[in-house]
Amino acid sequence: MSTRDKVAIHQLPTGVPGLDEIVGGGLPEYSFNIIAGEPGSGKTTLAHQFVFANATPERPALYFTVLGESSIKMLRYQQQYTFFDPAKLPGSIRFINLSQVVLENDLGAVLEQITKEVEKASPAVVVVDSFRTMVRKPQSDMDLQSFIQRLALFLASWQATTFLIGEYAEDELRDNPIFTVADGLIWLRQTAERNSIVRKLQIIKLRGQNSVPGLHTFRITNAGVQAFSRTFGLIGHLKDPPSHRRLSFGIPELDTMLGGGVREGDSVLIAGSSGTGKSVLATQFIAEGIRQREPGIVAVFEERPQAYAERATSLGLDLETPQNDGKLEILYLRPLDLSVDETMHSILDAVQRIGAKRLVIDSLAGFEMALSPGFRADFRESLYRMIFALTGIGVTILSTVEVDESFTEFPFSTYSISFLTDDIIRLRYVSIEGQLRKIMVVIKMRGGNHAKDVREYEITSKGVVILGKRLTNYQGLISGIPVRTDRPDSTEEPSQDTGIEHKT
């Protein structure tokens, strides 16, 4: 024992997938916590998950129910969740109904009853549900504050981690003695936006450790509450050392235009109008990765995985075998009411599951449309977080985005997400000699040289094929309506940019 030793606070698992990450590893042992929110927001379910994750016969949990939902109905519904293990009752988890005491006596009698049961069972976890119904009875402020302080002191002394569950509106947060005493305050919200329900949780307060600030999406499924951290569970992952490796598209001319390929860990955007071959390029990128033994993920929103793989087959690219070998996953993410964080967690799970090095999101427009309307406002911000998190661990991301074809303008993206990308490849139609042809140009490569050339390409049975040299005998190619000049087509090698980042 040293006078310089700090006390180590043991953290208990919350039993809620994703929540440990949000609270900074787990909830502090012996802490006095409040789970607050409106009716139906998942407070009781969250408390049950904690109880079932931590209660043992040696250190059981006492779950005090008060007025409100009847115990029978509560357990009737709670047992539907997969975490609910009936074998833990009553040895590890005891439900004790205090409604009679609350109805017939004052808070002192309630405290006495809780004290008696805690001294008898020496529980590791104590839950009072719903605490709010207990204090709605007319009490003076002093009574309530005194009760809370005595309860908190007693339960901490008895080494119990405690949860008070209460129905509170947000405007009740201020000047409330209960919240002052609490070590932890978990707030659950649910709001209706258009036709969707959006659920978010916030760790308003947690003494002794750093939690992830902000609002985190959560969902209630048959597995209970599942939380989706805004940091996507990637806190603590060290960024891979800067890589100078270049990843090939499997199209030598394009690799040359990119100065040798896409830099590993970059976020690449392929922008173009419908039919310009964005998905074909993305498929070639992922297939080349497989060939280079770099596992990949394709997140599709506009066609089913089978159709995506069949289209690759028509280009001579085999996506079936790597799927069977666990080197490739094609994710189809189109359920309604999906939150952006849930979608991104599905992608992240897959990335981590197979150790993916390349990720294709095809397309950003489809991704946005797959989201619940209420989450679309967060799309860009969430996309930024995901790209930052994934590229931070060395995953190279290629996203496709459809842009409106204009013959007077040359927009990079209708989503104004260019700032999210390191590299931009722009595909577009041009009208040349009575034909609608296709050209591509590398607009931007952050921190690397790239060709300034405008190259014509075709989509063939072998995918995207870049034709000839750069088009030097036309002016105004990127307008889509070029004017022929007298200069012959170039025979020069592709010219490289200086490496100075383009402002986009």
We find the least distance from the C-beta atom of residue 249 to another protein, in angstroms, to be 57
Which amino acid makes up residue 45? Answer: T
Which is closer to another protein, CB of 1 or CB of 87? 87
Residue 460, C-beta contacts closer than 8 angstroms, at least 6 positions apart: none
Which is closer to another protein, CB of 116 or CB of 239? 116
Residue 225 tokens read as 């509450």
Give the burial class of 3: count Cβ atoms within 10 A of its Cβ; 0-12 exposed, 13-18 middle, 19 or more buried: exposed
We find the least distance from the C-beta atom of residue 81 to another protein, in angstroms, to be 13
Q: Does position 75 bind another protein by CB under 8 A? A: yes
Among 72, 336, 467, 481, binds another protein (CB under 8 A): 72
Q: Does position 100 bind another protein by CB under 8 A? A: yes
Which is closer to another protein, CB of 86 or CB of 434? 86
Q: Does position 79 bind another protein by CB under 8 A? A: yes
Among 30, 32, 50, 95, binds another protein (CB under 8 A): 95
Stretch that binds another protein, among 35-43, 70-78, 192-200, 320-328 (CB under 8 A): 70-78
The number of C-alpha atoms within 13 Å of 465 and in the hemisphere containing its C-beta is: 9
According to CB under 8 A, which residues from 305 to 334 bind another protein?
Answer: none
Among 65, 217, 372, 399, binds another protein (CB under 8 A): 65
We find the least distance from the C-beta atom of residue 99 to another protein, in angstroms, to be 4
Which helix (H) or strand (E) segment holds residue 344: the answer is helix 340-354
Among 70, 122, 157, 292, binds another protein (CB under 8 A): 70
Which is closer to another protein, CB of 99 or CB of 449? 99
We find the least distance from the C-beta atom of residue 92 to another protein, in angstroms, to be 10
We find the least distance from the C-beta atom of residue 164 to another protein, in angstroms, to be 19
We find the least distance from the C-beta atom of residue 308 to another protein, in angstroms, to be 43
Give yes or no for a contact between 46 and 23, defined as CB atoms under 8 angstroms apart: no
Spatial distance between the Cα atoms of 208 and 475, rounded to a whole number of angstroms? 65
Stretch that binds another protein, among 6-14, 52-60, 97-105, 261-269 (CB under 8 A): 97-105
Q: What is the largest CA-CA distance in the chain?
A: 100
Q: Does position 421 bind another protein by CB under 8 A? A: no
Stretch that binds another protein, among 88-96, 282-290, 374-382, 474-482 (CB under 8 A): 88-96
- Residue 481: other Cβ atoms inside 10 A: 12
Task: List the 196-206 sheet strands across, edge first.
Answer: 93-97, 61-65, 125-129, 161-167, 32-37, 184-193, 196-206, 215-221, 224-228
- Residue 409: other Cβ atoms inside 10 A: 11
Q: Does position 263 bind another protein by CB under 8 A? A: no
Stretch that binds another protein, among 32-40, 84-92, 179-187, 194-202 (CB under 8 A): 84-92
We find the least distance from the C-beta atom of residue 116 to another protein, in angstroms, to be 12
DSSP string, 227-242: EE-TTTT-TTPPPPPP
Q: Does position 197 bind another protein by CB under 8 A? A: no
Give yes or no for a contact between 246 and 264, defined as CB atoms under 8 angstroms apart: yes
Q: What's phi and psi for 220, nearest 5 deg?
A: -110, 115
Q: Does position 121 bind another protein by CB under 8 A? A: no
The number of C-alpha atoms within 13 Å of 301 and in the hemisphere containing its C-beta is: 22
Torsion, Cα 64 70 76 79, to 10 degrees, reads -20
Angle value at C-alpha 460, between 454 and 464, nearest 5 degrees: 40
Among 38, 69, 71, 393, binds another protein (CB under 8 A): 71
Which is closer to another protein, CB of 67 or CB of 393? 67
Residue ranges in contact with another protein by CB under 8 A: 65, 70-73, 75-76, 79, 86-91, 94-100
